[in-house]
Chain A
Amino acid sequence: MDQILQILSGTAVVFQPLSLLYLSIGFFIGIIFGALPGLTSMLAIVLLLPMTYTMPMTYALIMCMGVYMSGIYSGSITAITINIPGAPSALMTCMEGHPMMKKGLGAKAIGHATIGSAIGGTIGALLLIFISPLAVSLALKIRTPGKFSLILFALIVIVIVEKNRTKAVISMAFGIMLSTIGMDPLKSVSRFTFGNPNLIEGIDLTTLIIGAFAISELFDQSTVNNAEYNKMTNAANSMKFKRSDFFPSFKEMREIGWMTYIKSSFIGYIIGVLPGAGASMAAFVSYVEAKRTSKHPEMFGNGAVDGLVAAETANNAMCGGALVPMLSLGIPGDGTTAIILGVLMVYGVVPGPDLLVKQMHVMAPMYMALLISAAVLMPLSLFLFGPYYLKIVKINRLVLYSSIALIAILGVFAATYSTFQMAVALIIGVVMYFFKKQKYPNVPFILAVILGPLCEQYMRTSLTLSNGNPMVFITNFDSLFFLLLTVAFSILLPRANRRAEALSKCREVK
């Protein structure tokens, strides 16, 4: 109860003028990055990462929350208008939103997506506020062997949820290999430096993140035909909607059913808690569930508004869910929360169960910022800026990407003051570009970069404390619990994945 009150007291901090300014900046950066095809909210936070070095941590986290919530939502704008998801999580929105657009109901589809996102985001944030203190009190009981088993659980689940698990293992191994360069965490020995003194301190987290996510994306985007992109976005530019077009009627919302909003929120939240699952999976599962229970499943794929609402509600509810394991256990729920964890690490915060106990005064405004970002989605998008969101794609692509290129490369310098680290970021960017081309997932990479060193540290410390006896992982109840959970997930998740795929194929055939 004390912790819930502490979280609620964060409201006072969020409503300070400077906090609101950072939240607004984050919110609109998120909207822009989410709405533009090729850019994501994760990339926005990656680019903001080096700038947070000189900012108080509370403001940095508040800004990240604004980016996170609005970036997930705004992926729906281009998904609906030009059939290209602004963010990967808006893929299911394309399937229903664009057919609605073709029927002349584009503004209404955006309105439904906004309401769904606001409801999902708010429920997700509220669940986060009320459940994470409980998770923290449980997390504090976890001792070192349990922490190792927990990270092992997270790393295994991250691989299992990926479509191509073999490639996920390689991506993860690459992340761990890079994160082990430098000083050994327990002994004063340097590893994998190959005689290069620049590597003794290891590769900076900012270098790894900017290289893997920003620089690789720049290489990928360089192949996009500018004329074709402009032609495609001109279609969205030419649309003219009145504010009133965005408002769905209560009758329409009643037809969708309140249960769809609530159920999708819970689905999104629960999937968010699962390490590595992310917004795309939340939207997919929620969409499949909406289709299964819909009175008009034949409408799906032709502009079913309940499908669109289910996907959009779930992917925003996921934000609150993904922050639960990150804040209470130090395990990021998706790629974006992994980068937010990186922001915390920049400030010297060690992720783990102690985080909320020791730093609650700093973290509390972050909860409220997430809640406010979700709550203001509806008034800001429907009453004020909705028609302008459609113009975001008008931003000159050349100016945008060349600015990102400069911010990204200078960001590495700002974080490290080293041209060597800039070169390392470039090399990592090249490798990750090839990985991306061959569909190697990047979420296992970033989670491995963050969790790999902790995994090693807890494993070796546990075994040192037990005089090298590996039974320590079985005899400790918390550790045994996570090991059993790992086994259960290893069996159940692939089955659930297969069943969901079969169900979706079966419906498509029908």
Chain B
Amino acid sequence: MNSRNHYLQAKVIIPFFMQIALIIYVVSALQLSSPIVGGMLSESSFPVIVFLIATPAAIKLLIDGVKDAKKEIAEGKDVVVKKKSIKPVLTVVIMAVFIALFELLGFSILAPLYVFFFMMVYDDKPQFIVKKIVFALLIAVVVYVMYAIAFDIRFPEIWR
């Protein structure tokens, strides 16, 4: 079993990326100004404080994660690779496509398609397609009435 997999678990990756984000955060704050300018706190002071508080926490979680991984390797434990569902990824893709095309194609075309594909992903298998199409259209109409008519919010449309 490749020991690299042990270190690629979320308990190691999240604090690692959080630490990277904190470093980028503090560096870009310090590029603006020194934390104290003329004896007064500047716009970079608060981000520096956040960095100083969160860094030990991120490092602790990272060390804990690495220790756990090392322990698993020493004990010869395999990383339990659960059969991961692809559904969250598909959900992200549907949302990303909806957002990318929203201004171009507008509500009327995209909303029913979005709801339909959402139902397809949420269901265990592709079934009751006609029922899903009907529900998708109904939901799009209800949501449109709620937002556009009741709350006077204008969505983009392909014709405008």
CA gap between A170 and B100 in the complex, in Å: 31
Cβ B41 vs Cβ A189 within 8 A: no
Cβ B57 vs Cβ A173 within 8 A: yes
Cβ A170 vs Cβ B15 within 8 A: yes
Given A402-B122, A437-B10, A191:B47 Cβ within 8 A: yes
Question: Chain A 168-189, CB within 8 Å of chain B: the 1/0 string?
Answer: 0110111011001000101101
Contacts of B92 in A (CB 8 A): 219, 426, 430
Size category of the B interface is: 35 or more
> Majority SS of interface residues in chain B?
helix
Cβ A398 vs Cβ B53 within 8 A: no
Cβ B155 vs Cβ A191 within 8 A: no
Cβ B99 vs Cβ A426 within 8 A: yes
CA gap between A227 and B122 in the complex, in Å: 11
Cβ B58 vs Cβ A226 within 8 A: no
Cβ B50 vs Cβ A226 within 8 A: no
CA gap between A399 and B128 in the complex, in Å: 13
Given A173-B22, A189-B32, A226:B103 Cβ within 8 A: no
Q: What's the A-B contact tally at a CB cutoff of 8 Å?
A: 173
Cβ B115 vs Cβ A414 within 8 A: no
Cβ B47 vs Cβ A402 within 8 A: no
Q: Within the complex, what minimum Cβ distance (angstroms) separates B147 from chain A?
A: 6
7 tightest Cβ-Cβ pairs between the two chains A and B? A173-B54, A169-B57, A222-B87, A402-B118, A456-B46, A468-B39, A219-B88
Q: Please name 25 pairs of A and B residues whose Cβ atoms are closer than 8 Å in the assembled complex, sorted by A.
A: A173-B54, A176-B50, A189-B32, A192-B29, A215-B95, A222-B85, A222-B87, A222-B88, A223-B87, A397-B122, A402-B136, A406-B115, A409-B98, A410-B111, A410-B147, A413-B155, A414-B153, A419-B102, A423-B96, A426-B95, A438-B11, A463-B41, A467-B39, A468-B40, A468-B41
Q: Which residues of B contact A (CB under 8 A)?
A: 10-11, 14-15, 18, 21-22, 25, 28-29, 32, 36, 39-43, 45-47, 50, 53-54, 57-58, 60-61, 85, 87-88, 90-92, 95-96, 98-100, 102-103, 107, 111, 114-115, 118-119, 121-124, 132, 135-136, 139-140, 142-143, 146-147, 150-153, 155
